Structure 1
Amino acid sequence: MSRDVLTPGRALAAVGIALCAALFFTFTYVLNRVAADQATHWAWIASLRYLFTLPLMLVLMPFQGGMKPVLRAIAAHPWPWLRSSLIGFGLFYCMLSFAAASGPSWLVAGTFQFTVIAGILCAPFLYSDARRRIPRAGLAVAALIFAGVLLMQFGHASGALDAAGWIALVCLLVAAFAFPLGNRMLLLHLEGTGEALNATQRVFGMTLASQPLWILLAVYAGAMHGLPTASQLLLGAAVALFAGVIAMVLFFQATGMVRNHPLALGAAEAMQGSEVVFAMLLGVLLLGEDWPRGMALGGAALVVLGIVAFAWVVARPAAGSERATRVLRTDKGA
């Protein structure tokens, strides 16, 4: 644990920056919904984000540790990078893009928030040491968030999901697990090789390693559904900039400011729950979506409550060693 003294001002600043990061992450759901409303095929929605993210990150990398360490790491062990990227970025974003047209922004955002707890549920399949144990508190929070997700989905569907609704729900849950699974697979690989890469370098490496998938997907989308319009290209670029670059930098900045102070770190990470609220506000104000009501609103509240409870679990001094705390943390700041 670092001996640096955390001032109230720095803690408040970290929370504020994390809140801004959540706002920019929320543009993923809102802009993807706009693209779906423009009849953009899900393959274009998925591929355009990461095709635009790569050149944006090329500009960013000189200020974030550089590209050379990442390129050396990928060249030395291409398969672990490819495997992790195809799951953590490829499967994750294909499923999220496919579900973009399934409902309002807040429904997609709220359902995907299960990813906050999905990482620790993957632990028994990834680790062979003490990290494979799932804390009881983690299971309780997972049940709370999942109950909220179901309430949102059934509330929006007036109590009965049709086939399309079930497919969208499964796609979002697959996305929620794929994102932390791919990230943690890469972290385990780097742990084994001893290669030290910061969070931005890992995101850049996974973006680069996943490019063959996005190129193939773009070729498929172009051949089957034609080229995207200028508006659809702009939406893809906006998602890449807002969620893929700005939100990422802000979130890493916020968690980095308080990484040695579990309570403040938990508070910063709890700001992810505001993505549901932001999605409601932006969806209503920009897209004319209806507010969630009744069961759906209660489910959204449960999801936010679950994320706050999970942040508290991580923040407890009883969480254990720094290594154990990292296993519990959200994968956005891994």
Structure 2
Amino acid sequence: MTRDVHDTRRALAAIGVALLSALFFTLTYVLNRASASEGGHWAWTAALRYLITLPLLLPVMPMLGGMAPAWRAIRAHPWAWLRCSAIGFVVFYMLLAYAAASGPSWLVAGSFQFTVVAGMLCAPLLYRDARRKVPKAALGVGVLTLAGVALLQLGNAQGHLDRAAWIALACVLGSATLYPIGNRLLLLHLERTGEQLTAGQRVFGMTLASQPLWWLVSAYAWQQSGAPPMSQVWLAAGVALSAGIIATILFFQATGMVRDLPAALGAAEAMQAAELLFAMVLGVMFLGEAWPHGIAWWGAGLVIAGIAAFAWLVSRPTRAPIVLPAEPHA
């Protein structure tokens, strides 16, 4: 098998894994919206997800490579792990939880698709090798997908967003930028140290490293609203299982598979655009939200076209990729 064929198959496999992760990530928007509709405080929504995720991860870690390698990596470089988890887990999810009360779940899901281009646009600030160059073709397809998201938003809001919606939109755009940055910073850190961690071990490590910050967020939530209602705890547990474990491991797996192929890495991150389509269906089915109408349907079509275009883009023969240490799969 030639190198180009191998890289093509690896890229397409990463896109498939990233799409599957998008399906599980979508439950974040739906369940967070349900929690906000019942009056749950946004800080509890954020903190409970990761406080519950840690004990849920413990019994499955033997199947994901074990806890010991991640624990050793954190002890060796605690500040690097704290920084990556603070960016890619804590601030990212606090902003997303705050925005959950803004409107339909697919409004938040749509805004989050800024992540389609955020990771690529941040590449010049993160890398010092060939990956610092923004792939023009991939960026173009990302902009096409983002245009579809904009049409969906305009169709849903009937051309007007109120003050609360604009604040929520800013929060989600910030969240969408921080998530890929945290992930990429961790991958870069592991490259520099030569530590080999599976996707599951990376998720466990960042979840563990972020715990002190989540206890601080919990203290703030307690001071603001007292103890969370049990309904909010159960909804947060659903998010922890679907998004905190299943989806995050799948996403880390997908990006780790193609971390040396810039266009494919951007494509894997862009597959999160499918969350918008999943959120529309789930929101209508379980939350009684309205279907999109008018130009919103054209936006949905552009999102689907963008996903197909990314798959085509990474299926083309490419130049030799950057050589990096091999990463074991979870």
TM-score (norm 2): 0.85
Pair 1:219-2:198 in alignment = no
CA contact (8 A) 2:80 2:189 kept: yes
| Pairwise CA distance, 1:12 | 11
Residues 315 and 212 of structure 1: is their aligned pair in 2 closer, same or farther, counting only changes over 3 Å? farther
| Pairwise CA distance, 1:280 | 1.1
What is aligned with 2:88? 88
Q: For 1:13 and 1:78, how far apart are their aligned partners in 2? A: 33
CA contact (8 A) 1:24 1:242 kept: yes
Amino acid of the residue matched to residue 222 of structure 2? G
| Pairwise CA distance, 1:17 | 6.8
Mapping of 1:233-252 within 5 angstroms? Answer: 233-249=233-249
Residues 89 and 152 of structure 1: is their aligned pair in 2 closer, same or farther, counting only changes over 3 Å? same
Residues 86 and 251 of structure 1: is their aligned pair in 2 closer, same or farther, counting only changes over 3 Å? closer
| Pairwise CA distance, 1:310 | 2.7
CA contact (8 A) 1:262 1:316 kept: no
Residues 77 and 12 of structure 1: is their aligned pair in 2 closer, same or farther, counting only changes over 3 Å? closer
Larger mean CA deviation between 289-298 and 19-28 belongs to 19-28
CA contact (8 A) 1:276 1:304 kept: no
Pair 1:296-2:288 in alignment = no
CA RMSD of aligned residues (A): 3.5
What is aligned with 2:190? 190
Residues 315 and 95 of structure 1: is their aligned pair in 2 closer, same or farther, counting only changes over 3 Å? farther
| Pairwise CA distance, 1:303 | 2.7
Count of aligned pairs: 323
Deviation per residue, 1:230-283 (Å, 9 max, x gap) = 111000011101112233455677889999999999998876443222211111
CA contact (8 A) 2:260 2:321 kept: no
Residues 109 and 20 of structure 1: is their aligned pair in 2 closer, same or farther, counting only changes over 3 Å? same
Residues 92 and 161 of structure 1: is their aligned pair in 2 closer, same or farther, counting only changes over 3 Å? same
Residues 176 and 262 of structure 1: is their aligned pair in 2 closer, same or farther, counting only changes over 3 Å? closer
What is aligned with 1:330? none
What is aligned with 2:63? 63
Structure 2 unmatched ranges of 5 or more: none
| Pairwise CA distance, 1:90 | 1.0
Mapping of 1:157-236 within 5 angstroms? Answer: 157-236=157-236
Residues 21 and 193 of structure 1: is their aligned pair in 2 closer, same or farther, counting only changes over 3 Å? closer
Question: The residue matched to 1:318 in structure 2 has which SS?
Answer: coil
Q: For 2:196 and 2:251, how far apart are their aligned partners in 1? A: 20
What is aligned with 1:152? 152
Q: For 1:72 and 1:259, how far apart are their aligned partners in 2? A: 23
Residues 268 and 219 of structure 1: is their aligned pair in 2 closer, same or farther, counting only changes over 3 Å? closer
| Pairwise CA distance, 1:308 | 3.0
Amino acid of the residue matched to residue 124 of structure 1? P
Question: The residue matched to 1:274 in structure 2 has which SS?
Answer: helix
Residues 85 and 262 of structure 1: is their aligned pair in 2 closer, same or farther, counting only changes over 3 Å? closer
Larger mean CA deviation between 233-242 and 98-107 belongs to 98-107
Amino acid of the residue matched to residue 205 of structure 1? G
Residues 317 and 198 of structure 1: is their aligned pair in 2 closer, same or farther, counting only changes over 3 Å? same
Mapping of 1:255-274 within 5 angstroms? Answer: 272-274=272-274
Residues 114 and 320 of structure 1: is their aligned pair in 2 closer, same or farther, counting only changes over 3 Å? farther
Structure 1 unmatched ranges of 5 or more: 327-332
Pair 1:43-2:43 in alignment = yes
Q: For 1:214 and 1:317, how far apart are their aligned partners in 2? A: 44
Pair 1:73-2:80 in alignment = no
What is aligned with 2:27? 27
Residues 176 and 2 of structure 1: is their aligned pair in 2 closer, same or farther, counting only changes over 3 Å? farther
Q: For 2:199 and 2:113, how far apart are their aligned partners in 1? A: 20
CA contact (8 A) 1:266 1:311 kept: no
What is aligned with 1:329? none
| Pairwise CA distance, 1:294 | 1.4
Amino acid of the residue matched to residue 142 of structure 1? G
Identity in percent: 63
What is aligned with 1:125? 125
CA contact (8 A) 2:199 2:256 kept: no
Residues 314 and 15 of structure 1: is their aligned pair in 2 closer, same or farther, counting only changes over 3 Å? closer
TM-score (norm 1): 0.84
CA contact (8 A) 1:122 1:181 kept: yes
Q: For 2:133 and 2:261, how far apart are their aligned partners in 1? A: 23
| Pairwise CA distance, 1:114 | 2.5
Amino acid of the residue matched to residue 39 of structure 1? G
Residues 128 and 283 of structure 1: is their aligned pair in 2 closer, same or farther, counting only changes over 3 Å? same
Q: For 1:185 and 1:259, how far apart are their aligned partners in 2? A: 12
Residues 189 and 268 of structure 1: is their aligned pair in 2 closer, same or farther, counting only changes over 3 Å? closer
CA contact (8 A) 1:266 1:314 kept: no
Residues 308 and 16 of structure 1: is their aligned pair in 2 closer, same or farther, counting only changes over 3 Å? closer
